[in-house]
Amino acid sequence: MGAVYGYIRVSSVDQNEDRQAIALRGRGIPEQNIFMDKQSGKDFERPQYKRMVKKLKPGDLLCVLSIDRLGRNYKEIQDQWRRLTKDVGVDVSVIDMPLLDTRNGKDLMGTFIADLVLQILSFVAQNERENIRKRQAQGIAAAKARGVKFGRPPRPLPENYHSAYQRWKAGKITGTAAAKECGMPLSTFRYRAEIYEKAGLL
Protein backbone atom coordinates (compact mmCIF):
# COMPACT_ATOMS: atom_id res chain seq x y z
CA MET A 1 0.00 0.00 0.00
CA GLY A 2 1.29 3.44 -0.94
CA ALA A 3 0.60 6.73 0.82
CA VAL A 4 -2.82 8.39 0.71
CA TYR A 5 -3.14 12.06 -0.25
CA GLY A 6 -6.02 14.51 -0.48
CA TYR A 7 -6.44 17.65 -2.54
CA ILE A 8 -8.74 20.60 -1.82
CA ARG A 9 -9.42 23.54 -4.11
CA VAL A 10 -11.62 26.55 -3.48
CA SER A 11 -11.86 29.25 -6.11
CA SER A 12 -11.17 32.21 -3.85
CA VAL A 13 -10.00 33.05 -0.35
CA ASP A 14 -13.62 33.78 0.56
CA GLN A 15 -14.91 30.27 -0.08
CA ASN A 16 -15.08 27.74 2.72
CA GLU A 17 -13.13 24.52 2.34
CA ASP A 18 -14.78 22.70 5.29
CA ARG A 19 -16.92 20.36 3.20
CA GLN A 20 -13.93 19.06 1.25
CA ALA A 21 -11.71 18.87 4.34
CA ILE A 22 -14.28 16.89 6.35
CA ALA A 23 -14.72 14.40 3.49
CA LEU A 24 -10.95 13.86 3.17
CA ARG A 25 -10.34 13.55 6.91
CA GLY A 26 -13.19 11.05 7.02
CA ARG A 27 -11.02 8.84 4.82
CA GLY A 28 -8.29 8.88 7.47
CA ILE A 29 -5.89 10.94 5.37
CA PRO A 30 -3.06 12.39 7.51
CA GLU A 31 -3.21 16.19 7.86
CA GLN A 32 0.27 16.57 6.36
CA ASN A 33 -0.91 14.75 3.23
CA ILE A 34 -3.80 17.11 2.54
CA PHE A 35 -2.92 19.92 0.11
CA MET A 36 -5.10 22.96 -0.48
CA ASP A 37 -5.14 25.83 -2.96
CA LYS A 38 -7.28 28.91 -2.37
CA GLN A 39 -7.23 30.68 -5.69
CA SER A 40 -8.97 30.86 -9.00
CA GLY A 41 -9.13 27.78 -11.20
CA LYS A 42 -8.50 29.87 -14.30
CA ASP A 43 -5.14 28.17 -14.79
CA PHE A 44 -3.25 25.24 -13.32
CA GLU A 45 -0.43 27.28 -11.80
CA ARG A 46 -1.55 26.18 -8.34
CA PRO A 47 1.42 25.86 -6.00
CA GLN A 48 0.02 23.26 -3.61
CA TYR A 49 -1.30 21.06 -6.38
CA LYS A 50 2.08 21.09 -8.12
CA ARG A 51 3.85 20.43 -4.83
CA MET A 52 1.58 17.46 -4.15
CA VAL A 53 2.05 15.95 -7.62
CA LYS A 54 5.84 16.03 -7.10
CA LYS A 55 5.38 13.97 -3.93
CA LEU A 56 3.14 11.34 -5.51
CA LYS A 57 4.70 7.97 -6.30
CA PRO A 58 3.38 4.93 -8.18
CA GLY A 59 0.97 3.04 -5.94
CA ASP A 60 -0.12 6.10 -3.96
CA LEU A 61 -3.79 7.09 -3.72
CA LEU A 62 -5.15 10.59 -4.34
CA CYS A 63 -8.61 11.47 -3.03
CA VAL A 64 -10.71 14.46 -4.11
CA LEU A 65 -14.28 15.22 -3.14
CA SER A 66 -15.51 15.95 -6.67
CA ILE A 67 -14.16 15.64 -10.19
CA ASP A 68 -14.09 19.39 -10.87
CA ARG A 69 -11.33 19.83 -8.26
CA LEU A 70 -8.94 18.45 -10.88
CA GLY A 71 -9.52 21.11 -13.51
CA ARG A 72 -11.58 24.00 -14.78
CA ASN A 73 -12.94 22.37 -17.93
CA TYR A 74 -13.50 19.10 -19.77
CA LYS A 75 -10.04 18.96 -21.36
CA GLU A 76 -8.13 19.87 -18.19
CA ILE A 77 -9.93 17.26 -16.09
CA GLN A 78 -9.19 14.61 -18.72
CA ASP A 79 -5.54 15.67 -18.98
CA GLN A 80 -4.98 15.68 -15.22
CA TRP A 81 -6.69 12.31 -14.80
CA ARG A 82 -4.46 10.72 -17.44
CA ARG A 83 -1.35 12.42 -16.04
CA LEU A 84 -2.05 11.11 -12.54
CA THR A 85 -3.15 7.60 -13.45
CA LYS A 86 -0.94 6.90 -16.48
CA ASP A 87 2.18 9.10 -16.15
CA VAL A 88 2.55 9.22 -12.36
CA GLY A 89 0.94 5.82 -11.77
CA VAL A 90 -1.27 6.69 -8.80
CA ASP A 91 -4.84 5.63 -8.05
CA VAL A 92 -7.50 8.33 -7.92
CA SER A 93 -10.69 8.20 -5.86
CA VAL A 94 -13.51 10.72 -6.36
CA ILE A 95 -15.44 10.59 -3.10
CA ASP A 96 -18.83 11.79 -4.34
CA MET A 97 -18.72 9.41 -7.32
CA PRO A 98 -17.67 5.90 -6.18
CA LEU A 99 -17.55 4.65 -9.79
CA LEU A 100 -14.54 6.93 -10.28
CA ASP A 101 -12.11 4.93 -8.18
CA THR A 102 -9.26 3.38 -10.13
CA ARG A 103 -8.69 0.78 -7.39
CA ASN A 104 -11.91 -0.91 -8.49
CA GLY A 105 -12.00 -2.97 -11.63
CA LYS A 106 -8.43 -3.04 -12.84
CA ASP A 107 -9.56 -5.27 -15.70
CA LEU A 108 -10.50 -3.97 -19.15
CA MET A 109 -14.20 -3.60 -18.33
CA GLY A 110 -13.50 -1.70 -15.10
CA THR A 111 -11.12 0.67 -16.89
CA PHE A 112 -13.65 1.21 -19.68
CA ILE A 113 -16.44 2.05 -17.22
CA ALA A 114 -14.21 4.47 -15.25
CA ASP A 115 -13.11 6.22 -18.45
CA LEU A 116 -16.69 6.50 -19.65
CA VAL A 117 -17.93 7.90 -16.34
CA LEU A 118 -14.99 10.34 -16.25
CA GLN A 119 -15.84 11.69 -19.69
CA ILE A 120 -19.51 12.16 -18.78
CA LEU A 121 -18.82 13.81 -15.42
CA SER A 122 -16.08 16.14 -16.68
CA PHE A 123 -18.42 17.25 -19.47
CA VAL A 124 -21.23 17.82 -16.96
CA ALA A 125 -18.86 19.80 -14.67
CA GLN A 126 -17.81 22.10 -17.52
CA ASN A 127 -21.37 22.47 -18.75
CA GLU A 128 -22.57 23.46 -15.27
CA ARG A 129 -19.83 26.11 -14.94
CA GLU A 130 -20.82 27.56 -18.33
CA ASN A 131 -24.48 27.61 -17.27
CA ILE A 132 -23.56 29.41 -14.03
CA ARG A 133 -21.63 32.06 -16.00
CA LYS A 134 -24.57 32.43 -18.39
CA ARG A 135 -27.03 32.84 -15.51
CA GLN A 136 -24.75 35.41 -13.88
CA ALA A 137 -24.53 37.39 -17.15
CA GLN A 138 -28.31 37.25 -17.55
CA GLY A 139 -28.78 38.40 -13.95
CA ILE A 140 -26.41 41.34 -14.43
CA ALA A 141 -28.14 42.33 -17.67
CA ALA A 142 -31.55 42.18 -15.96
CA ALA A 143 -30.26 44.26 -13.04
CA LYS A 144 -28.83 46.89 -15.40
CA ALA A 145 -32.16 47.04 -17.20
CA ARG A 146 -33.78 47.82 -13.83
CA GLY A 147 -31.32 50.65 -13.34
CA VAL A 148 -28.98 48.93 -10.87
CA LYS A 149 -25.52 50.48 -11.03
CA PHE A 150 -22.39 48.31 -10.83
CA GLY A 151 -18.89 49.31 -9.85
CA ARG A 152 -17.66 52.12 -7.65
CA PRO A 153 -19.55 55.42 -7.84
CA PRO A 154 -17.57 58.22 -9.56
CA ARG A 155 -15.67 60.64 -7.39
CA PRO A 156 -17.45 63.92 -6.73
CA LEU A 157 -16.35 66.71 -9.04
CA PRO A 158 -14.07 69.41 -7.63
CA GLU A 159 -15.79 72.70 -6.73
CA ASN A 160 -14.12 74.57 -9.59
CA TYR A 161 -15.10 72.01 -12.26
CA HIS A 162 -18.13 73.95 -13.53
CA SER A 163 -16.13 77.15 -13.93
CA ALA A 164 -13.25 75.39 -15.70
CA TYR A 165 -15.69 73.56 -17.95
CA GLN A 166 -17.49 76.76 -18.98
CA ARG A 167 -14.23 78.53 -19.87
CA TRP A 168 -13.02 75.46 -21.78
CA LYS A 169 -16.27 75.23 -23.77
CA ALA A 170 -16.06 78.98 -24.51
CA GLY A 171 -12.54 78.46 -25.89
CA LYS A 172 -10.92 80.65 -23.25
CA ILE A 173 -8.62 77.86 -21.98
CA THR A 174 -7.42 74.55 -23.38
CA GLY A 175 -8.71 71.21 -22.17
CA THR A 176 -5.28 70.48 -20.72
CA ALA A 177 -5.36 73.69 -18.69
CA ALA A 178 -8.91 73.04 -17.51
CA ALA A 179 -8.04 69.50 -16.45
CA LYS A 180 -4.96 70.77 -14.59
CA GLU A 181 -7.05 73.33 -12.72
CA CYS A 182 -9.37 70.54 -11.61
CA GLY A 183 -6.51 68.26 -10.62
CA MET A 184 -7.50 65.43 -12.96
CA PRO A 185 -6.13 63.82 -16.14
CA LEU A 186 -7.37 65.31 -19.41
CA SER A 187 -9.09 62.04 -20.34
CA THR A 188 -11.04 62.06 -17.05
CA PHE A 189 -11.97 65.73 -17.49
CA ARG A 190 -13.34 65.07 -20.99
CA TYR A 191 -15.10 61.86 -19.88
CA ARG A 192 -16.88 63.61 -17.01
CA ALA A 193 -17.78 66.52 -19.29
CA GLU A 194 -19.38 64.11 -21.76
CA ILE A 195 -21.44 62.47 -19.00
CA TYR A 196 -22.68 65.78 -17.66
CA GLU A 197 -23.45 67.12 -21.14
CA LYS A 198 -25.59 64.06 -21.87
CA ALA A 199 -27.33 64.49 -18.54
CA GLY A 200 -27.92 68.18 -19.23
CA LEU A 201 -26.14 69.21 -16.04
CA LEU A 202 -23.61 71.60 -17.60
Instruction: List active site positions.
Output: 11
CA–CA separation, 101 and 63 (whole Å): 9
CA gap 135, 39 in Å, rounded: 22
Query: What is the DSSP-derived secondary structure letter of residue 11?
Result: S
- The identity of residue 121, as a single letter, is L
The answer to whether 151 touches 94, Cβ cutoff 8 Å, is no
Q: What is the spatial distance between Cα 145 and Cα 154, in angstroms, rounded to a whole number?
A: 20
Contact 99, 113 (CB under 8 A): yes
